[in-house]
């Protein structure tokens, strides 16, 4: 994938969305070599945006690299963090993936599974745009909060 040109613009309004801000915090936290020091938020989040052109450059069959797996885990950590903020209950993310990039991501609140996502072809994991990332996250959070409300006894147990 070509990293020379960024697809996320510095003035993208979705850089201010809750998920993007938290995801950038998560990505900075796992940056043990300080690679992201001095980088803008747009440059840090840019690899998660897979336009059609970028996706075309990635082979259809392949294994995810460590950085891609770390980004996936960071996303679900961010999702759990936002869910905690909105619900007031502790949310625990669990990502289990084979070396081939197949697996499952769960977020549990108490004994209740509020997010259950099957992961496939994770070497091509990403979102078409920051807007799509934000919208998909909002839908997932809305469903999760609905489950917490409906099955509150399991969520608070």
SS3 105: strand
Q: What percent of the chain has pLDDT over 70?
A: 97
Query: Which pLDDT does position 143 carry in this prediction?
Result: 98
On the question of pLDDT at 2 being above 60, the answer is no
On the question of pLDDT at 114 being above 80, the answer is yes
Q: What is the mean pLDDT of residues 53-79?
A: 95
Angle at Cα 87 formed by Cα 47 and Cα 115, nearest 5°?
Answer: 50
Distance CA 64, CA 111 (A): 30
Query: Which pLDDT does position 5 carry in this prediction?
Result: 85
> 131: which 2 tokens?
């807007």
Query: Which pLDDT does position 1 carry in this prediction?
Result: 45
Distance CA 37, CA 33 (A): 9
Cβ neighbours, 10 Å, residue 123:
16
DSSP secondary structure code for residue 47 in this structure: G
Q: Which of 97, 98, 117, 99 has its CA nearest to residue 107?
A: 117
The fold of 13-155 is Putative cytoplasmic protein (1.10.3100)
Query: Which pLDDT does position 4 carry in this prediction?
Result: 60
On the question of pLDDT at 3 being above 60, the answer is no
Q: What is the mean pLDDT of residues 107-116?
A: 98
């Amino acid at each position: 994938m070509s990293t020379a040109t960024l697809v996320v613009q510095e003035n993208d309004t979705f850089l201010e969305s809750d998920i993007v801000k938290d995801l950038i915090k998560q990505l900075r936290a796992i940056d043990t070599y300080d690679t992201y020091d001095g980088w803008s938020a747009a440059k840090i989040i840019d690899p998660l945006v897979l336009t059609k052109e970028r996706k075309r450059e990635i082979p259809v069959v392949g294994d995810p690299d460590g950085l891609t797996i770390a980004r996936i885990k960071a996303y679900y950590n961010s999702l759990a963090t936002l869910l905690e903020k909105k619900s007031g209950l502790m949310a625990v993310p669990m990502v289990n993936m084979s070396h081939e990039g197949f697996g499952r991501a769960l977020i549990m609140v108490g004994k209740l599974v509020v997010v259950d996502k099957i992961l496939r072809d994770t070497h091509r994991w990403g979102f078409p745009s920051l807007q799509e990332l934000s919208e998909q996250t909002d839908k997932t959070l809305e469903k999760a909060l609905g489950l917490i409300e409906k099955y509150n006894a399991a969520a608070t147990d």
